[in-house]
Amino acid sequence: MPFTRLDIDRRRFLQSTAVLGASAIGGGPVFAQTRGETLLVVQELGPNSLDMQGVGSNQTVNGLSWNCYDRLLSYAAKTLPDGSPSYDRGKLSPELAESWQEAADGMSCTFKLRKDATFHDGTPVTAKDVKWSFDRAVSVGGFPTFQMSAGSLEKREQFVVVDNHTFRIDYVRKDKMLLFNVAVVVPFIINSELAKKNATEQDPWALTWLRTNEAGGGAYKIESWKPGSETIYARFDEWKNGPLPKIRRIIARDIPSAGTRRAMLERGDADFSTGFAPKDFDQLIKEGKVKVSGVPIPNALWYVALNTSKPPFDNVKLRQAVAWAMPYEAVQTNAFFGRAVPMYGGAGSVESAAWPQPFPYVTNIDKAKALMAEAGFAQGFETTLALDTGTATVGEPTAVLIQESLAKIGIKVTVEKIPGANWRTTLNKKELPMALNRFSGWLDYPEYYFFWNFHGNNSIFNISAYKNPAMDALIDKARFTADAADYATAVKSFIAMCMIEVPIVPLNQPIHDVAMQKNVAGYQFWFHREPDYRQFGKA
């Protein structure tokens, strides 16, 4: 009987784990490992780089960075209402820095580094490595540098080596997000001497070399990396910046077929997977063969962005008409199978400074038609709705439902499918009339989300090209005020403004679902949505 693709994938995967051994990069002792010390992961797409600060690095690289590099600080753990473990957005915990102390005037913070921390090659970690790493993060440009600036980490002069194990950040302004920004993925600590040996005059930050080489000191090191095929992580047994992980080795295999991944998981040929369609997760939960963990992603939305800088969507009444015409319940049921939190049908006034919160719109075709007429589009028009093919699982059915619903008010929509590799570049041109997109903010503050998406001075994620000085002033007020009442007023005001001006039409808050064998323990949701293998174990 001929083999199917599923049989071949399964055989290859099992062959790769038949001998559970590992060796250090560059040679070293081989040790036997039990199945209980190895985690077998199947994923749709693996890392396209080993450097998340590099241009074009994909989502999975965030997880690689999180596990293979350290940061000065991390987030403390907490338990969600359903008993699931998660990070605590409001509390920090030590990682490479064993302690930290803000100055009495609130304009600097001094970090004491662990004296026994080393990089994977045995080199001691010093404050010089920390400074070089922070200097790099604010200098490479693109998303990493913008992320640093979101916490007022803006220039190299802010980062000071006090002595070998003491590092200081001087503040350019008081910013409550600064220290929390130190604990996100971007400011990871690099073995600077190793990186500098492989830098050039044209590439002073070793972007080319670090794209294919790992120079960290985190709990795991890269044993092997085959782009598009497999990534193998080996535990760094000399890691001192937290409890030594229980899992010695992670084998992460790239398998694009969701059906193949699901079958391998259900048969027990894999331990952990994600990236399934909501329909699959709904079925997995009901069947109960594996366990599913689902957490609403903080500060995240699926939404339709409307280009406010160009006709026809520079007309606010037209944008409101679109909001009243969206097929919210149909999208929630038929595209997301309930695996999302509705963001429609909210109160007409903003009573809470929480974000995200439901907008007041529901599907009301008559009201949408009336606003179309007021906006001068009673006869309708043609436009396009852009879709990232990398999100087609939920994106395509959502786009079709939107297309059908907007046709009822005279808007003829053509769905434009854009390859995932070109999606961000296309969005940044600010030329798309409508775009179906998802955005999640790493720092769980309303002003952080609004800074990225609606501030006129931010060009990276503001794909609606929305510019409003009044909005900018409210966002800045919330970012930097120390007064709780002023903060709440500013947040509620900019949320209310967004509801009226409708630069985006929120659909729902996505739930991040993962599936795993019942004997896998320790999975913890993180804002970057990648697994923290340091927490895993097997019962």
Distances (CA, A) of 337 to 328, 388, 393: 12, 20, 12
pLDDT above 90 coverage of the chain, percent: 84
Q: Are residues 8 and 132 in the same domain?
A: no
pLDDT bin (cut points 50, 70, 90) of residue 79 is confident
Pairing between β-strand 411-418 and β-strand 381-388 as defined by DSSP bridges: parallel
Q: Tell me the sheet residues that pair with 293.
A: 514
Does residue 151 share a domain with residue 59? no
User: Look-up: residue for tokens 């004997």?
Assistant: 519
Same domain as 411, residue 328: yes
Residues 422 and 417: their CA atoms lie apart, in Å, by 10
Q: Are 400 and 415 in contact (CB under 8 A)?
A: yes
Asked if the model's pLDDT at residue 361 lies above 90, the reply is: yes
Write the pLDDT tens digit of every residue in 283-300: 999 999 999 999 999 999
Q: How much is the average pLDDT of 429-447? A: 94
Residue 134 belongs to some domain of the structure = yes
Distance of alpha carbon 471 from alpha carbon 476, whole angstroms? 9
**258-267 vs 5-16: helix crossing angle, rounded to 10:** 60
* Amino acid letter, residue 502: V
DSSP string, 368-392: HHHHHHHTT-TT-EEEEEEEEGGGH
**Are residues 76 and 65 part of one domain?**
no
225: domain CATH number is 3.40.190.10
H or E element: which one contains 42?
strand 38-43
Both 304 and 384 in one domain: the answer is: yes
Q: Are residues 393 and 531 in the same domain?
A: no
Q: Which residues, listed in sequence order, are joined to residue 370 by a DSSP beta bridge?
A: none
First to last CA, the chain: 37
3-state secondary structure of 396: helix
User: Given the DSSP bridges, would you call strands 381-388 and 434-440 parallel, antiparallel or unpaired?
Assistant: parallel
The yes-or-no verdict on residue 22 having pLDDT over 70 is no
Of the candidates 475, 495, 489, which has an alpha carbon nearest to the alpha carbon of residue 360?
495
Place of tokens 């952080």: 448
**Quick one: average pLDDT of 94-122?**
97
* 76 shares a domain with 60: no
Question: Which helix (H) or strand (E) segment is 180 a member of?
Answer: helix 178-182
**DSSP string computed for 334-356:** HTSTT-EEE--S--SS-----SS
Q: What amino acid occupies position 185?
A: V
Question: For 398-403, what is the mean pLDDT?
Answer: 98
Domain boundary among 160, 194, 228: 194
> If pLDDT is split at 50, 70 and 90, which confidence band does 47 have?
very high
Both 449 and 524 in one domain: the answer is no
Taking a C-beta distance cutoff of 8 angstroms, is the pair 188, 216 a contact? yes
- Tell me, yes or no, whether 112 and 260 share the same domain: no
Going by C-beta distance under 8 Å and a sequence separation of 6 or more, which residues neighbour residue 418? Answer: 386, 387, 388, 389, 426
What's residue 391's pLDDT? 86
Q: Is 59 inside any structural domain?
A: yes
> What was the pLDDT predicted at 24?
36
Instruction: Looking at the structure, tell me whether residues 123 and 105 fall in a common domain.
Output: yes
CATH classification at residue 180: 3.90.76.10
> What predicted TM-score, i.e. pTM, was given to this entire model?
0.88
Residue 209 inside a domain? The answer is no
SS3 427: helix
For residue 347, what is the domain's CATH number?
3.10.105.10
Residues 109 and 251 occupy one common structural domain: no
Any domain includes 477: yes
Confirm if 285 and 79 have CB atoms less than 8 A apart: no
Q: What integer is the mean pLDDT of 42-60?
A: 93
Give which of 95, 100, 216, 105 is closest to 168, Cα–Cα. 100
**Residues 493-502: b if buried by 16+ CB within 10 A, e if exposed:** bbbebbbebb
Alpha helices for 419-466 (secondary structure H): 420-428, 446-454
Rounded mean pLDDT, 330-357 = 95
Reduce the secondary structure of 119-167 to three states and give it as a string.
Answer: CCCCCECCHHHHHHHHHHHCCCCHHHHHHHHCCCCCCHHHEEEEECCEE
CA angle 294, 87, 452 (to 5 degrees): 85
In a domain, 157, yes or no: yes
Residue 501 resides in a domain: yes
For the chain, the domain total comes to: 3
How confident is residue 23, by pLDDT bands cut at 50, 70 and 90?
very low
Please check whether residue 278 is in contact with residue 43, taking contact to mean a CB–CB distance below 8 angstroms.
no
Q: Return the minimum-mean-pLDDT range out of 25-34, 282-291, 503-512.
A: 25-34
Instruction: Select from 162, 179, 194 the last residue of a domain.
Output: 194
CA pair distance 400, 245, nearest whole angstrom: 45
Contact 525, 512 (CB under 8 A): yes
Q: Running DSSP on this structure, what letter comes out for residue 247? A: -
- Give the pLDDT score at 32: 44
pLDDT recorded at residue 33: 55
Average pLDDT score over residue span 73-100: 90
Q: Are residues 319 and 455 in the same domain?
A: yes
- What residues make up the domain containing 256? 1-69+218-271+517-539
Instruction: Give me the pLDDT at residue 360, please.
Output: 97
In a domain, 207, yes or no: no
> Cis peptide leading into 227, omega within 30 of 0?
no
Bridge-based pairing state of the strands 108-113 and 85-94: unpaired
Q: How many CB atoms lie within 10 A of CB 458?
A: 18
Q: Which whole number is the average pLDDT over 132-146?
A: 95
Q: What is the mean pLDDT of the chain?
A: 92
Residues 344, 359 contacting (CB under 8 angstroms): yes
What is the Cα–Cα distance from 260 to 7, expressed in whole angstroms? Answer: 9
